Amino acid sequence: MAHIIDGKAIAADIRRELAEKTAELKQTRGITPGLGLLLVGDNPASQSYVRSKEKACAELGYHSVVLRWPEDAGEEQILEQVRAWNEDDSIHGILVQLPLPRHVDEQRVLLAISPRKDVDGFHPENVGRLVTGLPGFVPCTPAGIMELLTRSNVPTKGRHVVVVGRSNIVGKPMANLLYQKHSRANAVVTICHTGADDISYYTRQADILIAAVGVPHLIKASDVKDGVVVIDVGVNQVQDATAPKGRRLVGDVDFDSVAPKASAITPVPGGVGPMTIAMLLSNTFRSAIGEVFRA
């Protein structure tokens, strides 16, 4: 049976480390990491994400400003807030919770965030920095997966990593991180998507398989080879009459059939999910100490 990569425990370690470093930073340099969070509308999932982020900031002793605006908030009002945070020295990270309401041009808002405070790593400048191997902010979910691999002692050098999914927030940055020429990466990477006729042909060749698809249980035992390391990014709600609310969360990987073949695997929930907020906190800390754009 596979080693279960416990993202909850690893994320808790990172949060503990950050809490210690934050206390020291306040004492030695008088700096409190600050995060500005803007939520527009009443999407229940977004509300829950923002609550978790707010709570995590409080736990670590960060300064956080959380704005919850109604669905009909205007694009100009949002842009003005972003610009105000860009100029605010107490705010080191800016996060506009996505998705934004339809009448708002999401790209325009993301472009307005200063790349130096773009702790989500979605600004094209940070995307360019990632691709070219320059220091910058890396999107939180793939950054969290790199931490999971490192802290679980999964070597990547020369390993064949197959990433299923090519979204801008997970698949693409994940692939870009993994093929970089440095000691924590240096993998050979294949990216699969709906353009592939038979994704199983590729996934069966993976030493490390990263599924970021959004299709419940897409990856079955027959899609992986023995000894594979599996990172399941998917978070999918499925009906389950036996679950308390009649539904439960499952990943993109059929855990029960794949785990016996894998050497290590992340569960859903409790795998990749907790790492995302931990890396948001880490990015905000790195911004506060001015580490990111030194080079």
Q: Which residue of the chain is nearest ligand NAP when measured via CB?
A: 167
Can you list the alpha helix ranges (DSSP code H) found in 133-183? Answer: 140-151, 171-178
Annotated catalytic residue 8: no
Taking the complex as a whole, the smallest distance from the CB of residue 249 to ligand NAP amounts, in Å, to 9
Taking the complex as a whole, the smallest distance from the CB of residue 67 to ligand NAP amounts, in Å, to 22
Residue closer to ligand NAP by CB (options 32, 205) is 205
Query: Is cis: bond before 173, omega within 30 of 0?
Result: no
Give the active site residue among 6, 81, 118, 120: 120
In which element (H, E) is residue 64 found?
strand 63-69
Binding site for ligand NAP (CB under 6 A): 141, 164-167, 169-171, 192-195, 199, 212-215, 218, 233-236, 272-273, 276
What crossing angle do the helices spanning 273-288 and 7-29 adopt, rounded to 10°?
Answer: 20
* Rounded Cα distance, 51 and 277, in Å: 11
* Rounded Cα distance, 260 and 179, in Å: 28
Taking the complex as a whole, the smallest distance from the CB of residue 9 to ligand NAP amounts, in Å, to 16
Give the active site residue among 6, 81, 97, 207: 97
Residue closer to ligand NAP by CB (options 136, 171) is 171
Q: What is the DSSP string of 240-273?
A: -TTSTTSEEEE-SB-HHHHTTT-SEE--SSSSSH
Residue closer to ligand NAP by CB (options 40, 140) is 140
Q: CB of 128 within 8 A of CB of 115?
A: no
Taking the complex as a whole, the smallest distance from the CB of residue 293 to ligand NAP amounts, in Å, to 25
Annotated catalytic residue 107: no
Residue closer to ligand NAP by CB (options 21, 166) is 166
Annotated catalytic residue 197: no
SS3 (DSSP) at 37: strand
Q: Which residues are catalytic, by number?
A: 53, 97, 120
